[in-house]
Amino acid sequence: MIRWKYLKDKYDFLSISEKLILINVLCFFIPFILNTILFLFNFSFGNLITWFELSPKLEVLLFKPWTLLTYSFFHTRISHLFWNMLLLYYASSIFLNLFKKETFINTYFLGVMFGGVLFVLSYLVFPVFQGSFPSMIGASAGVMAVLIFVCKYTPETEIRLLFFNVKLKYIGIALVAIDLVMIPYGNAGGRISHLGGAVLGYIYAKNLSQGTDIGYYFEKLWQYIVSFSSKSHLKTVYKSKKKSSKNVKVDQNEIDAILDKISNSGYESLTKNEKETLFNAGK
């Protein structure tokens, strides 16, 4: 029997970048497993990833707006997944030593969206893409945003590559140059989205070093969505169990204070005692 609580505790212990890597790995393998199950039971719903990949057609994007984010969770090849997650792991280890996880989330997902927008616009603007509408998946734009962010913010930091040290700024320049010159030789739309992520990361780091957080309103938006979902769920649980709770006395003012804390700082900001209080309130 799977110990779900044990797995959940392990997941909660991971850093935000490690959670993101885990989700990407799961999203790579789950579609293959589901397609196998559907095949064995003689069901066919087509390629499941089509509901999550980003299309360069504007009308398709308007019909499936969530794909501007979800395309980043899926990959076509194991090598594509491996190199993206490897770069993300090392870049995020530097990033999270300097900034809070909220800034990391802002940089990564704004990079994903900006790269996606640039991908769609490129197929609307450049004549070379006329009549061609390949969809895109992959986390590269978000990974590039994080990587170029740290390259811009701490350009003189050196990291060890094989037998010598290299400054971050030279790694950033090399990766951007490779994407730029390789556009005519395949995966042009993907290369452009990488550059979009890189531009976002550069602009974010430059503005932050000058005291301006360009992800401020985006952060408020996703925090509101997360806290609203958590607060609504917790209130529903508490109210639905209130009548049958006879043995546990709950201080409503304390519960309200905890819910307000979740609304402001998220569930992960709660102490162990506060989490136990909410658990007891739901009994």
Q: Is residue 2 part of a domain?
A: no
Q: Do 226 and 157 share a structural domain? A: no
CA neighbor of 52 nearest in space, from 72, 36, 34, 37: 72
User: How many whole angstroms separate alpha carbon 117 and alpha carbon 195?
Assistant: 11
**Mean of the per-residue pLDDT values of the chain:** 86
The answer to whether residues 194 and 73 belong to one domain is yes
Higher per-residue pLDDT: 42 or 129 = 129
Is 206 found in the same domain as 69?
yes
What percent of the chain stands above pLDDT 90?
A: 61
Q: Mutual orientation of helices 101-125 and 78-98 as an angle, nearest 10°?
A: 130
The model's pLDDT over 193-227, given as tens digits with 9 standing for 90+, comes to 999 999 999 999 999 999 999 999 999 999 999 88
Q: Give the helix, strand, coil percentages of the chain, each rounded to 5.
A: 75, 5, 25
Query: Number of structural domains, the chain?
Result: 2
Q: Are residues 56 and 115 in the same domain?
A: yes
Q: Tell me how crowded residue 60 is: count the other CB atoms within 10 A of its CB.
A: 17
Q: Give the burial class of 38: count Cβ atoms within 10 A of its Cβ; 0-12 exposed, 13-18 middle, 19 or more buried.
A: middle
Residue 234 has pLDDT above 90, yes or no: no
- Owning domain of residue 270: 218-281
- Beta strands (DSSP E) in 129-270 are 158-161, 164-167
Q: Which of 134-143, 161-170, 234-243, 260-269 is modeled with the greatest confidence?
A: 134-143
pTM here?
Answer: 0.79
Whether residue 245 has pLDDT greater than 50: no
Burial of 47 (0-12, 13-18, 19+ CB in 10 A): exposed
Report whether 67 contacts 54 (CB < 8 A): yes
Please report whether residue 3 resides in a domain. no
For residue 71, the domain's CATH number is: 1.20.1540.10
CA atoms in the 13 A half-sphere facing the CB of 213: 14
Give residue 114's pLDDT.
Answer: 97
Q: Is 257 within the bounds of a domain? A: yes
Question: Exposed, middle or buried: residue 45 (CB in 10 Å: 0-12, 13-18, 19+)?
Answer: exposed
**Do 77 and 134 fall into the same domain?**
yes
CB atoms within 10 A of CB 16: 17
| Residue 273, token pair as written in the block | 């005692």
What's the pLDDT at 216? Answer: 94
